[in-house]
Structure 1
């Protein structure tokens, strides 16, 4: 999943170690399978949510992550 990979890259850890760094797994913030289903759908969508101190925005095929 692109969000997990991007957050792990920003935290400079492997994706498997991300929950320990963020203190909570991604699924405590949003359902990753539902998110994958939304973004792999043929229609462009816009979704935003917060994970720990990061604001995550998905707009069509663009992923933006901002640190608060």
Structure 2
């Protein structure tokens, strides 16, 4: 389970990832925004401790080829 929230505040979002996945695209991110991201492995008999970190999305690119 991955939970992420902008560090400046806002609503947290959660997405589930299958056990064999090694990567995932997080939906509904805002450009040029820092996020706090928590990853927890969820098993039938409970959950692991969380792994957390910070990440920042890139700003939107400018207009090209006018």
| Same fold, TM-score > 0.5, yes or no | no
Which one scores higher on RCO, CA 8 angstroms, separation ≥ 6?
A: 2
Q: How does the TM-score come out when normalised to structure 1?
A: 0.30
Could you state the TM-score of these two structures normalised by the residue count of structure 2?
A: 0.30
Q: Which has the higher strand share?
A: 2
Which structure dedicates a bigger proportion of its chain to helix?
Answer: 1
